[in-house]
Amino acid sequence: MRDKYAHSRRSPSGFVLPAPPPVVVAPKEGVVASSFLDQDRAYFHAYSHVGIHEEMIKDRARTDAYRDAIFFHADYIRDKVVMDVGCGTGILSIFCAYAGARKVHAVDASAIAVQAREVVKANNLSDVITVHHGRVEDLQIFEEVDVIVSEWMGYMLLYESMLGSVIYARDRWLKPGGLMLPSFATLYMAPITNAEKYSECIDFWRSVYGIDMSAMLPLAKQCSFEEPCIETVPAESVLSWPIVVRKLRSLDTLYPLIFFQ
């Protein structure tokens, strides 16, 4: 399954998102890193589409959680320097500016950065927020930051995530004792039932046009269980309380190899 889905993912709205590019070794100060790989281009191009940003912002639980966390830490953020890794439309950067940040470096390698710059300008925040169009691994700024905020989480927490880039930014620019938002993450799993999906994909093969095709059932089950299904399910489909399967306890100290292994 890993090999089959190493090249892409599909969002619930149908947008195909390639796997994230590998994290590269940090370039030295003053040195411009090499140009994008083809894989990089495909990944960042996917985030140039307005649909994926609309989908994320409309996820009120997600957006409200980030806004509330930023405002909760307003006393710390006030008059500080913030970096937003993967800023997208710039909404989290603007929340940080509203929380009193003195300077926000908003970084995004996709073309959405062009629109983010216009959003910042329209909200009269160009004196606070600087939008950098490029990979964070190629970014050349010469000041440390007090806070790093990033919406890096992908499906199953870690897939299609940019945590590697966030860790890179942390190691290069975050001041000792600086704030990471989020600073920890927990992955839960729970069994579910989906009789309609099972009937659609499995029971379909019992009889097709009056022909007994039940010999296809083992293959249909194998293929269905090998492929991840990304859907919103009703609460009544969840069969038990979730269990914790992975904790990332301290993103401010997490060593990159722990994540990539």
Residue with tokens 């969002």: 11
Among residues 137, 151, 196, 236, the one annotated as catalytic is 151
| 227 counts as catalytic | no
Amino acid at 154: G
CA atoms lying within 13 Å on the CB side of residue 96? 33
Judge contact between 172 and 205, C-beta under 8 A: no
The CA angle 154-150-109, to the nearest 5 degrees, is 85
Task: Give CA–CA dist 101/132, Å, rounded.
Answer: 17
Give the closest residue to 165 by CA, choosing from 87, 103, 97: 87
The DSSP element (H or E) to which 25 belongs, if any, is none
Strand 81-85, strand 103-108: pairing: parallel
Among residues 160, 196, 200, 231, the one annotated as catalytic is 160
The CA angle 258-259-261, to the nearest 5 degrees, is 70
Task: Give CA–CA dist 173/80, Å, rounded.
Answer: 13
Judge contact between 101 and 94, C-beta under 8 A: no
Judge contact between 187 and 244, C-beta under 8 A: yes
| 143 counts as catalytic | no
Annotated catalytic residues are 151, 160
